[in-house]
């Protein structure tokens, strides 16, 4: 179901105490509203504690930042989708550009992660071009290939569970945000590709988030675009006043 969502990806930041304090601050300064779903993606080891803290708030949910592509086994240091679900987390970010570049995750591995996660968790699947692809004007081809290679094998029923995050790599953590015109153009392209593959109903119902230096100053303009359903927020999710102001930007 298409929803307005603000998801905060803490990456490798916050001790448990700092994370719990940040959640307290967000809760005390954001009104209970079912209109916007707020998702917090802390490091794995904080998932259970933060899911427990948010369990009474239906407008909040918890996500992992990654999961392994296999069910279980001898994979030291890895975490499975089933383990994540057992903490109370309901979402998982898959295909973040930092995983693609630092951990060498390919569309093939990412498609396996989606397959293993989809029964237990809602994937927030990240796609987006790098600066060279944008400058060469091949960004739409890149995005089409990411969709096709990692997601378009899914049945319509399973694809209907996916949230997409369009995150141009050149905008992540750089302070350079896509203009609302650029972001809306790509979101519309993504929706059109989904329409071609799965039809109008599924494309109209897919939640597509924007990520990449989204902040309290630019969120309102981005979120007012017709195909942008909210944001996946990195740096600005680490401070309560910033993330609450982004949440209030709808």
Interface with ligand PEP (CB under 6 A)? 9, 167, 172-173, 211-214, 232-236
Tokens 């319509």 found at: 156
**Min. distance of Cβ 55 from ligand PEP in angstroms?**
25
**Min. distance of Cβ 177 from ligand PEP in angstroms?**
8
| Candidate list 46, 68, 69, 96, residue with the active-site label | 96
Residue with smallest beta-carbon separation from ligand PEP? 234
Q: Is 167 a catalytic residue?
A: yes
Kindly tell me which of 203 and 237 has the beta carbon lying closer to ligand PEP: 237
Kindly tell me which of 203 and 211 has the beta carbon lying closer to ligand PEP: 211
| Candidate list 129, 167, 187, 193, residue with the active-site label | 167
**Min. distance of Cβ 182 from ligand PEP in angstroms?**
15
Kindly tell me which of 129 and 203 has the beta carbon lying closer to ligand PEP: 129
**Min. distance of Cβ 170 from ligand PEP in angstroms?**
10
Kindly tell me which of 128 and 151 has the beta carbon lying closer to ligand PEP: 128
Task: State the catalytic residues.
Answer: 96, 167
């Amino acid at each position: 179901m298409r929803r307005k969502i603000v998801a905060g990806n803490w990456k490798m930041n916050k001790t448990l105490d700092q994370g719990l304090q940040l959640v307290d601050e967000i809760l005390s300064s954001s009104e209970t509203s079912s209109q916007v779903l707020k998702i917090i993606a802390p490091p794995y080891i904080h998932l259970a504690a933060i899911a427990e803290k948010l369990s009474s708030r239906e407008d909040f949910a918890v996500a992992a930042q990654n999961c392994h592509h296999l069910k279980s086994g001898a994979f030291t240091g890895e975490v499975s989708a089933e383990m994540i679900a057992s903490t109370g987390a309901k979402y998982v970010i898959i295909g973040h550009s930092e995983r693609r570049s630092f951990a060498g995750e390919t569309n093939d591995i990412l498609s396996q992660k989606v397959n293993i996660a989809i029964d237990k968790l809602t994937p927030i699947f990240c796609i987006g071009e790098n600066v060279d692809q944008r400058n060469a004007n091949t960004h739409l081809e890149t995005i089409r290939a990411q969709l096709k290679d990692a997601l378009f094998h899914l049945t319509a029923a399973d694809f209907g569970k996916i949230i997409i995050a369009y995150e141009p790599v050149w905008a992540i953590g750089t302070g350079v945000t896509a203009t609302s015109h650029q972001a809306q153009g790509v979101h519309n392209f993504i929706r059109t590709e989904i329409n071609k593959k799965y039809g109008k109903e599924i494309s109209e119902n897919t939640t597509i988030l924007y990520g990449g230096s989204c902040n309290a100053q630019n969120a309102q303009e981005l979120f007012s675009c017709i195909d942008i359903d909210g944001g996946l927020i990195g740096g600005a999710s680490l401070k309560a006043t910033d993330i609450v102001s982004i949440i209030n930007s709808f």
